[in-house]
Amino acid sequence: MSSANPPTPTGAAALTAAQHRAVAELLRVSPVADELGRRFADAGFALHLVGGSVRDALLDRLGDDLDFCTDARPEDTLRIVQGWADAIWETGRDFGTIGVARRGLRLEITTYRAEAYDGVTRNPVVAYGDNLRDDLARRDFTVNAMAVSVPGREFTDPHGGLADLAARVLRTPGTPESSFGDDPLRMLRAARFAAQLRFAVDPAVRAAMAAMAADLDRITAERIRDEFTKLMRGADPVTGLRLLADTGLADRFLPELSGLKLEIDEHAQHKDVYEHTLTVVANAVRLEAGTGPDFVLRMAALMHDVGKPATKAVAGDGRVSFHHHEVVGARMTRLRMKAMRYPKDVIADVTGLVALHLRFYGYGRGEWTDSAVRRYVTDAGPLLSRLHLLTRSDCTTRNRRKAAALAADYDALEERIARIAAEEDLARVRPDLDGNAIMELLGVPPGPVVGQAWRYLKELRLERGPLTRDEAEEALRAWAAGRDG
């Protein structure tokens, strides 16, 4: 593998020769790339593995999605892959991209581009380029501005991406101001890569993010949502969140994050809500225990205390309270996620967790009956496993005795839930009589009375546990008699 413009990384951070060979080795064991490269070459066009695919290959984290760039126009690409691809999609054709499936791999082939924003509209204006170096120059960061030709294996790195990869730092190919002016979403992408790859952000890039944060307003809510979701699903979302707050980017689409930085004086006694929240997010990531990034859990951890600023009250002794902040926070979370265009089911799950996150506290005082446990499980429904994790994540006290006591209390609650679940069907707590049985027993047609009776029986089921048929019918008759009287 040759280098068109090799970087000169030095010292312990330098990439090894073995890492340099990683891309060539990738292509050697991936005949699909070589096959595709030869088809383009036979048609008189160049083809390069590019961007994140090269970066991830060097980091030994390449997936099944490969990105290529070419001097071929989309119509040429379609002609070249016809009869070779297992499937073809043209959803990105207006942006110069043709998608291809081949042997379990997803390939995106994009014509060299030179795209920019006009400073007013929210969508990029796409113009085709005519050479690889210009295409690389317009990419977001140097670590994404490397390419490997196929099938020739020529390595191109005009902006020192290898050196930055070795140093684990994010820089832009040109000036950050120029890059972010072309596409302001790149500022949010910097925070996303910091979270995903645990890379540091170059000071000049960070300064430009702070100075140009308002430019993010030109980007659609959907594009911001998608980048933010990737950030939250990253290996280290806390680093990305700190960067958003520190640069003011969060204020453009998630002002509740910075709003957690409540002023604390010597008389107002409460923990730092902002730092507490970031710790809860980190705890949630840790407690996922290899099950994969759970956006709903992480977002609930982030938003669980957003209602505190609006509910803060200081008593005469200096103690601070946040009464009903879970209710206010759930409402704020719903509005914010709706503005970010999240799907209704995702919004419902996150807001449900926020609303329930305080329910556990008080259990350790021995106040919970079996009825309270049933209500806890029923109200959580399919969110119960996440609620367990969120509640445990919310314990951030440095007092080891208090932390141990809270953990023991929640262990006891989970054991109690398991015991009751073994005796009853807690997953589906329903009345012991259905609607038809209620109508038959009371001699009433379908209508409001049936719904009222059903709700009464469900409350009775939660309070007393399963009833026999005779017990349920007796209770229903007594309810109807009291109602008639």
Whether residue 90 is found in the same domain as residue 13: yes
Q: What is the pLDDT of residue 7?
A: 45
Q: When comparing pLDDT for 398 and 110, which is higher?
A: 110
Domain endpoint, select from 140, 166, 192: 166
In this structure, is residue 276 part of a structural domain? Answer: no
Each residue of 165-196: pLDDT tens digit? 989 999 999 999 999 998 999 999 999 999 99
Amino acid 65 reads D
Residues 210 and 226 in one domain: yes
- Write phi, then psi, for 267 (nearest 5 degrees): -100, -25
Residue 57 lies in a domain: yes
How many angstroms separate the CA atoms of 62 and 54, rounded?
Answer: 8
Could you tell me how many residues make up the chain? 485
The larger pLDDT score, comparing residue 419 to residue 238, is at 238
Please tell me the predicted confidence (pLDDT) of residue 58: 87
Residue 201 belongs to domain with CATH number: 1.10.110.30
The pLDDT value recorded for residue 320 is 74
Instruction: Say which residue, 481 or 261, is predicted with more confidence.
Output: 261
Share of the chain above pLDDT 90, in %: 52
- Residue 474: its pLDDT value, please? 74
Q: Are strands 320-321 and 169-170 parallel, antiparallel or unpaired?
A: unpaired
Contact between residue 205 and residue 170 where contact means Cβ atoms under 8 Å apart: yes
- Domain that residue 465 falls in: 435-484
* Total number of domains in the chain: 4
Q: How many Cβ atoms sit within 10 Å of the Cβ of residue 271?
A: 15
Same-domain check for residues 309 and 357: yes
Q: How many Å apart are CA 188 and CA 184, to the nearest integer?
A: 8
270: confidence class by pLDDT, cuts 50, 70, 90: low
Q: What's the maximum distance between 2 C-alpha atoms anywhere in the chain?
A: 93
**13 and 146 belong to one structural domain:** yes
Nearest to 225 by CA among 198, 246, 205, 252: 252
In a domain, 271, yes or no: no
Confidence of residue 21 (pLDDT cuts 50, 70, 90): low
Checking if the pLDDT of 52 tops 50, the result is yes
Q: What share of the chain is helix, strand, coil (3-state, %, to 5)?
A: 55, 10, 35
Q: Are residues 141 and 184 in the same domain?
A: no
Q: Do 412 and 465 sit in the same domain of this protein? A: no
pLDDT: which is higher, 324 or 238 = 238
The domain boundary residue, chosen from 108, 137, 166: 166
Closest CA to 420 of 480, 452, 373, 387: 373
Q: Give the pLDDT of residue 205.
A: 98
pLDDT classification of 2: cutoffs 50, 70, 90: very low
Specify if 266 maps to a domain: no
Indicate whether 424 and 414 sit together in one domain.
yes
If you average pLDDT over every residue of the chain, what do you get?
A: 84
Residue 278, domain member (yes or no) = no
Question: Which pLDDT does position 375 carry in this prediction?
Answer: 78
Q: Is 328 inside any structural domain?
A: yes
pTM, to two decimals: 0.80
Residue-level pLDDT at 238? 98
Residue with more model confidence, 176 or 313: 176
The per-residue pLDDT for 340 is: 97
Gyration radius from the chain CA atoms: 29
Domain boundary (413, 428, 443) is at 428
* Residue 234 domain-assigned (yes or no): yes
Q: Which of 109-118, 228-237, 361-370, 427-436 shows the lowest per-residue confidence on average (mean pLDDT)?
A: 427-436
Three-class DSSP category at 162? helix
Same domain? 86 vs 162: yes
How confident is the model at residue 345, as a pLDDT? 96
pLDDT average, residue stretch 38-55: 94
Would you say residue 282 lies in a domain?
A: no
Instruction: Clarify whether residues 374 and 233 are in a common domain.
Output: no
Rounded-to-integer distance, Cα 348 and Cα 296, Å: 10
Residue 20, pLDDT score: 63
Do 332 and 444 lie in a common domain?
no
pLDDT of residue 362: 64
Which pLDDT tens digit goes with each residue over 314-368? 777 777 778 789 899 999 999 999 999 999 999 999 999 999 998 887 665 666 7
Tell me which of 155-169, 212-226, 398-412, 421-435 is least confident.
421-435
Same domain, 145 and 11: yes
371 pLDDT tier (thresholds 50, 70, 90): confident
pLDDT band (50, 70, 90) for residue 136: very high
The CATH number of the domain where 133 resides is what?
3.30.460.10
Using alpha carbons only, give the angle 336, 337, 343 rounded to the nearest 5 degrees: 155
Is 50 exceeded by the pLDDT of residue 265?
A: no
Statement to judge: residues 191 and 145 lie in one domain: no
- Give mean pLDDT, residues 44-69: 90
List the beta strands (DSSP E) in 4-118: 47-50, 65-70, 87-89, 97-102, 105-111, 113-116
> Is the pLDDT reported for residue 397 higher than 50?
yes
